[in-house]
């Protein structure tokens, strides 16, 4: 199974983000229920290793923290990752970095290969490969100052991802409480 660890965003934040939908013709928006903040992509994992991942995450003691989204940006398509992605950024915070480090340590302890890529916390909002560049640039300028209220994050989630007919299907497998 294909796994990743993420924060399943509170409804109020998803609603704020979903309020942007429809404002950019040609964008393929992420379904509001699927909006999340990935902490660690794990990838294809054997069932026995998935059990160990769950155990490792369960044993981790993480602290709850406040999170706000700010600004928008675009990752241009890179190889197999496919379409360019429009995202909302995450205000950098020490507790978020701390949680991510704890997750990384826990995963490495059960043999998951270290993450070499730099952590760029973001919430993917839409695939925008079909949006003409000038239209995208205008939209970005108008929404660059996006800033949501801050919300308390009191859990994180192990998700599985399966290919669906038109988009991946994300399933929340286990929630882990932050204290």
Binding site for ligand 2AM (CB under 6 A): 4, 38, 41, 85, 124, 161
Q: CA-CA distance, 109 to 97, in Å (whole number)?
A: 18
To the query of whether residue 98 is one of the catalytic residues in this protein, the response is: no
Would you say 41 or 176 has its CB closer to ligand 2AM?
41
Q: How far is the CB of 95 from ligand 2AM (least distance, A)?
A: 20
3-state secondary structure of 43: strand
Q: How far is the CB of 179 from ligand 2AM (least distance, A)?
A: 25
Q: How far is the CB of 161 from ligand 2AM (least distance, A)?
A: 5
To the query of whether residue 122 is one of the catalytic residues in this protein, the response is: yes
The helix, strand and coil proportions of the chain, stated in percent and rounded to the nearest 5, come to: 30, 35, 35
Would you say 37 or 179 has its CB closer to ligand 2AM?
37
Under a CB-based contact definition with an 8 Å cutoff, are residues 87 and 71 in contact?
A: no
Residues with catalytic function: 36, 122
């Amino acid at each position: 199974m294909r796994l990743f660890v993420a924060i399943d965003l509170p409804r109020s934040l998803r609603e704020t983000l979903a309020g942007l939908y429809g404002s950019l013709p040609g964008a393929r928006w992420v379904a509001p229920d699927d909006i999340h903040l990935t902490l660690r992509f794990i990838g294809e994992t054997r069932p026995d290793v998935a059990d160990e991942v769950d155990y490792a995450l369960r044993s981790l003691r993480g602290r709850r923290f406040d999170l706000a989204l700010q600004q928008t940006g675009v990752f241009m398509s890179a190889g197999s990752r496919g379409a360019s992605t429009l995202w909302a950024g995450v205000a950098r915070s020490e507790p978020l970095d701390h949680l991510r480090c704890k997750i990384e340590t826990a995963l490495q302890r059960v043999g998951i290969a270290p993450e070499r890529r730099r952590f760029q916390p973001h919430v993917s909002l839409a695939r925008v490969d079909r949006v003409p560049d000038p239209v995208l640039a205008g939209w970005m300028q108008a929404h660059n100052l996006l800033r949501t209220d801050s919300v308390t994050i009191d859990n994180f989630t192990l998700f599985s991802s399966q290919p669906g007919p038109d988009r991946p299907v994300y399933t929340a497998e286990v929630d882990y409480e932050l204290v």
